[in-house]
Amino acid sequence: MSTQLLPDFASIVDQLGIDDVDRLRSYIKPAMYACLEPSEEEYPLGVSRFGGLPDLPVGVAWPNCEAGPIPFLAQVNLSELPSSPGRELLPERGLLSFFYGNPDGEFHFPDDEDGVTGGTVVLFTEDLDHLTRIDLPDDFEEELIVREESQLLHFHGCNTFVDLEHPVWGRYDQFFGPDIPELETPWGNQRANFQILGHPRPMQTSVAHYVADESLGNDAEQKEAFIEWSLGLETLFQALDADGDCSVYIMIQRDDLLARRWDKFRWTLQCT
């Protein structure tokens, strides 16, 4: 991983004379981003793609939540990822499959007032020799497929930085105040559709607020503990919808990621 600050931010730090540049550097996280790419009508089992029907081991059932089958979002073949910084956090091979949403066509948080529990499931398949493309469950309406025709995902390495709404910036009030400078993004002006690892890219306020159990109260010790906790989060998967106005975030603590505890993720949704 590069120890350099993002280009436009490095000059600002130098001008201000911030003395803990090493800490600022520690907020840089490597990530991988992808945009949708056209695919052939028939695509091989186990390739990285968004939408369509999932490839799962023979005998594995379509995941369910309280409201029924959970829509299939995407799958990532880990052997297809580039050998860029951060790659060591993930297994060398295997398939991560992401299911998100509800069969009623609406997205829900676990504590929604309507009592409907949202469904999010992450499955890891290590052996890809016995995959099959499973059909839709009988009680699943076809119009609720995230995308009927799959599109391929091809990932590239990049660096990410903490978002501008993250509470970590309170450490630098004496330098920036409310005027934290915009940071250069690795994909330029066009937002990437998907991301693995790194800091999430928020569509509203800091994603860390949404996935935390801890309060951001006035207690300084509690707030500092929250900041350190949130900096330990990695983006397991982030998907921007086709219209570019909503983003699904599936986050995991780095320790859980390294231990391959795929059920320890947290998730949320943000829309513009």
- How much is the mean pLDDT over the chain? 80
Residue with tokens 């840089």: 28
Q: pLDDT band for position 145 (50/70/90)?
A: low
The pLDDT, as a whole number, for residue 188 is 46
Angle subtended at Cα 228 by Cα 226 and Cα 232, rounded to the nearest 5 degrees: 110
pLDDT at 137 over 90: no
Instruction: Tell me the DSSP string of 38-76.
Output: ---SS--TT--EESS--EEETTPPPPEETTEEPPEEEEE
The pLDDT, as a whole number, for residue 112 is 44
Q: pLDDT band for position 55 (50/70/90)?
A: very high
Q: pLDDT band for position 2 (50/70/90)?
A: very low
Query: Mean of the pLDDT values across residues 217-226?
Result: 78
Question: Pick the residue with more confidence: 41 or 169?
Answer: 169
Most confident of 38-52, 87-101, 116-130, 202-216: 87-101
Q: What is the DSSP letter of 22?
A: H
How many angstroms separate the CA atoms of 61 and 91, rounded?
Answer: 23
Query: Mean of the pLDDT values across residues 18-40?
Result: 81
Angle subtended at Cα 161 by Cα 124 and Cα 192, rounded to the nearest 5 degrees: 60
In CATH terms, 7-271 corresponds, of 2.40.10.10, 3.40.50.1860, 2.20.25.90, 2.30.320.10, to 2.30.320.10
pLDDT at 214 over 70: no
> Where are the chain's structural domains?
7-271
Q: From start to end of 145-199, where are the E strands? A: 151-160, 194-196
Angle subtended at Cα 26 by Cα 22 and Cα 28, rounded to the nearest 5 degrees: 125
Question: Pick the residue with more confidence: 249 or 176?
Answer: 249
Q: pLDDT band for position 141 (50/70/90)?
A: low
The pLDDT, as a whole number, for residue 110 is 43
The pLDDT, as a whole number, for residue 143 is 54
Tokens of 90: 């993930």
How many angstroms separate the CA atoms of 203 and 201, rounded?
Answer: 7
Beta-carbon contacts of 128 under 8 Å, excluding residues fewer than 6 positions away, are 45, 46, 77, 93, 94, 95
pLDDT at 115 over 70: no
Q: pLDDT band for position 32 (50/70/90)?
A: very high
Question: Pick the residue with more confidence: 267 or 14?
Answer: 267
Record the pTM.
0.86
Radius of gyration in angstroms for the set of CA atoms belonging to the chain, rounded to a whole number: 19
pLDDT at 221 over 50: yes
Q: pLDDT band for position 258 (50/70/90)?
A: very high
How many angstroms separate the CA atoms of 114 and 106, rounded?
Answer: 12
pLDDT 10s digits, 229-255: 889 999 999 987 656 678 889 999 999
Judged by average pLDDT, the poorest of 29-43, 105-119, 173-187, 247-261 is 105-119
pLDDT 10s digits, 75-85: 999 999 999 99
Nearest in space to 228 (alpha carbons), one of 242, 240, 214: 214
pLDDT at 130 over 50: yes
